[in-house]
Structure 1
Amino acid sequence: MLRRRRPIEPEAPLTDGVPAGMRIAGAWSWRLLAITAVIGVVIFLVMQLALLVIPIFIAVLLAALLQPFNGWLQRIGWPKWLSVTASMLALLGVVSGLIWLVVSQIRMGLPALEERAVERFDEIVGQISSTFGISEDEIQTVIDDTIGQFDLTDDWFVSGALSVGSTVSEVLTGAVLALFTLLFLLLDGRRIWTFVLGLLPKQSRKAVDGGATAGWLTVTNFAKVQIFVAFVDAVGIGLGALFLQLPLALPIAVAVFLGSFIPIIGAVVTGALAVVVALIFIGPVQALIMLGIVLLVQQIEGNILQPLVMGSVVKVHPLAVVLAVAAGGFLAGIPGTLFAVPIVAFLNVSIRYIASGAWRTRPRPTMDDLAAITHVDDGRGKKTP
C-alpha cells in the first residue's frame, strides 16, 4: 500500500522568533550608526581642513549679511559688478573704521591707563597688607617669585615670536581667501549653487534646492537680526561705560558688538569684561553699577528686542543655542562658536521644509512659506514654533 509523502515544509525565515519591535529597532540602529559615521567623517575632514573651511564659512555668513544690500542696489538699477564692488567697499570701510577707532582710542588712553593701573595695584596691595597684616615687601616677594616660575628665556621669546608670526600669516591668508570667496559668492552665487545641485541625483535636486533656499533665507534674516541686536548691546553697554567714565569705553563697546555674534556666551564674556574693567580701574561700587547696566541691557535684548525682531523662522531654542555653541567651541574653538547657531538654524528650517513636502509646490520658498511650516500644533489648537 502506497503512502502519500508529506510535503516538505519550507524552512522558517531567519526572522522567526525575533519580535517585530526588535527587528524595527535593529533596522533603525544600523541606519543611525551609518548616519553617525558619515557625520563623524565630515567633522573630521572639516577639522583637518580648518584653514580652508573657516574662511569659506566666514564668506558665506558675510554674503548672507551683504546680499540684501547688494540685491537692493541691483533692483534700483545698479549693474551687478558695481553693486558687488559697493558692497565689498562698504564692508571693508566698516571693518577698517572700527579698527581705526579702537586703535586710536587705545593709543590716546594708554598713558593714563598705565598710570591708573599702577595706582590701582598699589591700592590693592595696601588693602591686602592692612587686612591680613602682611608687609608690602612680603607681597612683592611673592609676586616676584611667581613671575620667576615662568621660564622667560631667549628661547621662549623666539618661539613665541615664531608662533605669533605663523598665526598672523594664517589669519592674513584666511582673510584673503574669505574676501576672494565672498566676491564670487556675490557675483555668481546662484551659478555656483546650480553647479553643486548638478552633482546630486536628479530626483533629489528639487527637494534639496527648496530646503537650501529655505535655510539661506533663515541665515540671511538671522544675520540681520544678530547685527541689530549686537548694535543695541554695544550702544547700551558702551553708554553705561561712558557714563561711569570707564577707560577704553569705545573698545569695550566694540568688543560687546563683536561678542554678541556668539549668542549668550559672547554677551556674558564681554559684559564680564566691562565689569572687571570697572572693578580694577574705578572701584567695587562702580563695578556693581556696571553689572546692573549689563544685566539690564541683556534683559531688554532677550525679552523685548529679540521677540520683536526675530520671528519664529529664525528663532532657535535657548537650550539648542547653548548646546550648539558648546559643541562648536569644543570642535573648532572660537570659529566653531561663531558658526554653530547659524548652522543649526539652517538645518532646522531646511529639514522641516523638506519633510513638509512644500518644495513640491513651492520650490522657491518665501519667509511667509517658512512661517507656515515652522509652526506645529501643540495639541490645544494653538500653533507654536
Structure 2
Amino acid sequence: MSNETSPVPRPVRAASDWAWRLLLLAFGLVAFLYLLGFLSEVVIPLVVATLLTALLASVHQRLSRRMPRGPAAGLTVLGTIIVIVGLLTLVGSQISGGFGDMAQQVGSGVTQIRDWIRGTFKISDTQFDGYVDQLKTALESNADLRQTAARAGVTATHAVAGTFISLFALFFFLYDGPRIWLWVVGLFPRTARARIDSSGGVAWHQLTAYVRATLLVAAVDAVGITLGAVVLRVPFAPAIGVLVFLLSFIPIVGALLSGAVAVVLALVAHGPVTAAIMLGVVILVQQLEAHVLQPFILGRSVRIHPLGVILAIATGAVLAGIVGTLVAVPTLAVVNAVWRHLVSGDAAADSVPHHTEDPAVPPS
C-alpha cells in the first residue's frame, strides 16, 4: 500500500517505528543492567581493577623498562597493597591511640552544644533530656542487631572475595593487557574492528586522564582539610585526611560526606564555634577544587557539565549504590569521548586496527 493511500498518517507511522525500536533498545539495556547486577560480585571487582589499571599503568610502564612485564606487574600490585594497608593501619592506630583524649573532648563539646541549643532555641533541661530519650528510643526500636550482624558478615565475606578478584585482575590487566585487548577486538566483525580499536584508545585515554586528575584533586583536598583539622585540633585529623582522599573519588557527594564528618567531629570535640571554622575550611578547599583545580587539571578533554555530573551520580546511586556513584562520572566521560570520536568521522578514517600483532592496552 502506498503512503498516499495509507489510513495511518505518516507522522503517526514514524512515531510508532521509533517507539518499538526505542522499546527494544530499552529492553536490551534493562536486561544488560540486570545481568550486571546478577553478576555484581564479579563485575564490581573487575571495575575496580580497571580503574586501578588506568591509575597504575604509567607506573607499570616505567618498571617494564627495567624488568620483564610479569615482575613489573607483580611489583606494582604489591606496592598498591602496601599503600592501602599502610593507610588503613594509620587510621586504625590513630583512632585507637586518640580514643581516650577524644572521650574527654566529647564531654566538653557536648556541654557546649547543649548550652548553645538551650540558649538559642530557649529549651529547658527537661525538654532537652526528653528529646534525647525519644531519639534513643527510636533508634533502639528500629535496630535489629541480629540482621545487621548477619548482613555485615555477608558483606565482609564478599568484600574479601572481591578484593582478591580485583588484585588478580589488576595483575593480569597490567601484565597481559595487550593480548586481552586483542581478544576483545577480535570478537567483533572485521569491518568493525578498526572503529572498536580506535574507540578503545579514546576511551582508555579518557579514563586514564580522569583517574589521574581525580587522584591529584583528592590528594589536594585531603591535605587542605587535614591541615585545617590539625590547626583546629580536631580529633583524628589523619583519619579525616584518609577519608577525604578516598571519598573524593565520588564527585560532589564524596566531598559533602567527608566534609560533614570533619565538621561533626569538630562540633562534638570543641563546640559550635570550632565547627563553624572547620566548615569554612571545608568550603574553602572545595571551592578551590571546583573553580581552580578541576578546570586546570582535567582540562576541556574530560570536562562534563555539572548537571550531567549530578544526573550521572543520581542514576549510578539508584542502579548500583556506592559503586554506582564511584563509576558514574568516569563512565559518562568515556561514553561522551567515544561518542564524539565516532560522530567526528575520525574512526571511519581508520581502515585497519591499530594493533595487529601484540596490541597494547589502549594508550594512556
Per the normalisation by structure 2, the TM-score is 0.89
> Residues 77 and 126 of structure 1: is their aligned pair in 2 closer, same or farther, counting only changes over 3 Å?
closer
**Percent of aligned positions that are identical:** 38
Runs of 5+ consecutive residues of structure 2 not aligned to the other structure: 356-362
CA deviation map 1:56-109 (0-9, x unaligned): 1101111111111111222x3321012112211221111111111111110111
Range with bigger deviation, 332-341 or 65-74: 65-74
Structure 2: distance between partners of 1:358 and 1:217: 15
Q: 1:221/1:49 Cα in 2 relative to 1: closer, same or farther (>3 Å)?
A: same
The change in CA–CA distance for 1:79 and 1:133 in structure 2 (over 3 A counts) is closer
Residues 231-285 of structure 1 show CA distances to partners (whole Å, capped at 9, x for unaligned) of 0000111111111111111111111111110011111221122122222211222
2:211 to 193, 218, 223: 223
Alignment partner, residue 73 of structure 2: 84
Aligned residues of 2:228 and 2:278 also touching (Cα < 8 A): yes
Q: Does 1:308 align with 2:285?
A: no
Structure number with higher relative contact order (C-alpha < 8 Å, ≥ 6 residues apart): 2
Structure 1 SS opposite 2:249:
coil
| 2:337 counterpart of 1:345 | no
Q: Is residue 175 of structure 1 aligned with residue 163 of structure 2?
A: yes
- 1:192 corresponds in structure 2 to 180
Distance 2:279 2:123 in 1: 31
2:49 aligned to which of 59, 63, 70: 59
Looking at structure 1, the residues matched to 166 and 264 of structure 2 have their Cα atoms a distance apart, in angstroms, of 34
Alpha-carbon distance, 1:201 to partner: 2.1
Equivalent residue for 2:284? 296
The answer as to whether partners of 1:278 and 1:290 remain within 8 angstroms in 2 is: yes
Tell me whether 1:112 sits opposite 2:115 in the alignment.
Answer: no
Give the secondary structure class of the aligned counterpart of 1:106. Answer: helix
Unaligned runs of 5+ in 1: 1-10, 371-385
Q: Which residue of 2 aligns with 1:379?
A: none
Corresponding residue for residue 5 of structure 1: none
Instruction: Name the Cα RMSD after superposition.
Output: 2.5
Within 1, Cα distance between the matches of 2:86 and 2:259? 23
CA distances 1:327-362 after superposition (whole Å, capped 9, x unpaired): 101111101100111111111111221222212445
Mapped to 2, the partners of 1:284 and 1:198 lie a distance apart of 62
Are 1:73 and 2:63 matched, yes or no? Answer: yes
Amino acid in structure 1 at the alignment position of 2:51: L
Aligned-partner Cα distance in 1 for 2:43–2:141: 35
- Quote the Cα distance in structure 1 between the aligned partners of 2:281 and 2:3: 71
Aligned length: 353
Asked if residue 44 in structure 1 is aligned to residue 31 in structure 2, the reply is no
Q: Using the TM superposition, name which of 297-306 and 255-264 deviates more.
A: 297-306
CA contact (8 A) 2:112 2:271 kept: no
Q: Is the 8 A contact 1:325 1:341 kept in 2?
A: yes
Q: Give the aligned partner of residue 8 of structure 1.
A: none
- TM-score, normalised to structure 1, is 0.84
Distance 1:312 1:123 in 2: 48
